[in-house]
Amino acid sequence: MKIMVAERLKDLMDEQNLNQVALAKKIGVKQNTISAWLLKKKEPCITSLWLVADYFGVDIDYLVGRKEY
């Protein structure tokens, strides 16, 4: 299974016209953390996945690529 967090996160950010700095402030993480996720340098922990999923109103399964919107 291919983890799709970077792709899904980028799409969600684009839909809401959010940059990395804005998203980081909204979910309480550092901008370089968002950057690392988008560049696939690291994957978000479960707590971060919850924050992202709750902010965008999506399921964690969507973020990781287990299901579609």
What residue ranges define each of the domains in the chain, with the CATH number in brackets? 5-59 (1.10.260.40)
Per-residue pLDDT of 7-41, as tens digits, reads 999 999 999 999 999 999 999 999 999 999 999 99
Nearest to 28 by CA among 12, 50, 3: 50
Question: What's the pTM value of the predicted model, to 2 decimals?
Answer: 0.90
Cα distance between residue 63 and residue 46, in whole Å: 11
- What pLDDT sits at residue 3? 78
Please provide the size of the chain in residues: 69
Burial class (CB in 10 A: 0-12, 13-18, 19+), 9: buried
Cα distance between residue 24 and residue 61, in whole Å: 21
List the Cα angle 59/65/69 in 5-degree steps.
50
